[in-house]
Chains A and B, each alone.
Chain A
Amino acid sequence: NAGVTQTPKFQVLKTGQSMTLQCAQDMNHEYMSWYRQDPGMGLRLIHYSVGAGITDQGEVPNGYNVSRSTTEDFPLRLLSAAPSQTSVYFCASSRSEFRGHSNQPQHFGDGTRLSIL
């Protein structure tokens, strides 16, 4: 059972380039989310999805787009990378609270370490 898989593990971009971070889960979880982690700032929620076709913004959504065409996949897109987006990005999944499984623990992927020059 793979759990939550993120690709790539590392990436270096130049300012202005675009990129998609991939996230896939094989646990049939309805809820998926993206976080960024910066030193001293904990994990901050970028976007989340409660099911296929439904996405919403988190705490720091600017500069990022998401889509959820299937239950399994939740890609994160950087349309025009900026140095301020240098960070470690984590994808997480869980059962959705709206399916009668409230307050579920999040299962995290191993992260993508992104540097923007």
Chain B
Amino acid sequence: GQQVMQIPQYQHVQEGEDFTTYCNSSTTLSNIQWYKQRPGGHPVFLIQLVKSGEVKKQKRLTFQFGEAKKNSSLHITATQTTDVGTYFCARWGFQKLVFGTGTRLLVSP
């Protein structure tokens, strides 16, 4: 299948520390989407990356798409307790949106 691997599976940080999750594919991606799911909630779309080497920022969140379009990362600067949740990458192709396994982030105050 068109697997998208995500690491780490889980990370626990102290508030104020940085956090990064990585998404890797064995094949070239046409695009990558990122979603956030709060505990007990549903996935919410954050952003989409399409171009090789693309970098987008949303306040403390920085999203990158690799030059070879086979990997992507989400970096959160100075985490806050509101960042708690699971972050998913997802690839859209052939009419299907396939999700990575997600990275669960826990932030302690």
Complex: chain A residue closest to B98, CB-CB: A45
A100 adjacent to chain B (CB < 8 Å): no
**8 Å CB contact of A105 from B6, B48, B95:** B48
* Contact indicator B96/A45 (Cβ below 8 Å): yes
Complex: chain B residue closest to A108, CB-CB: B42
| Nearest CB of A to B49, in Å | 10
- B8-37: CB near A (< 8 Å → 1, else 0) gives 010000000000000000000011010100
**Given the contacts A56-B95, A103-B31, A103-B48, A43 and B1 also touching, CB distance less than 8 Å:** no
* Contact indicator A103/B30 (Cβ below 8 Å): yes
Of B52-60, B62-70, B76-84, B99-107, the segment with at least 4 beta carbons within 8 Å of chain A is B99-107
A97 adjacent to chain B (CB < 8 Å): yes
| Nearest CB of A to B15, in Å | 25
A2 adjacent to chain B (CB < 8 Å): no
Write 22 A-B pairs (CB below 8 A) sorted by A numbering: A31-B95, A40-B101, A42-B6, A43-B43, A45-B97, A45-B99, A59-B1, A59-B98, A90-B42, A90-B43, A92-B43, A97-B95, A103-B33, A103-B92, A105-B48, A106-B43, A106-B97, A108-B42, A108-B43, A108-B44, A110-B41, A110-B42
Residues of A within 8 A of B (CB): 31, 33, 35, 40-45, 48, 50, 56, 58-59, 90, 92, 97, 103, 105-111
Taken together as a complex, chains A and B put the C-alpha atoms of A109 and B43 apart, in Å, by 9
Residues of B within 8 A of A (CB): 1, 6, 9, 30-31, 33, 35, 41-45, 48, 50, 88, 92, 95-102
Determine which residue in A35, A56, A108, A110 has the highest number of CB atoms from chain B within 10 A of its CB, and name it: A108
**8 Å CB contact of A48 from B41, B42, B95, B100:** B95
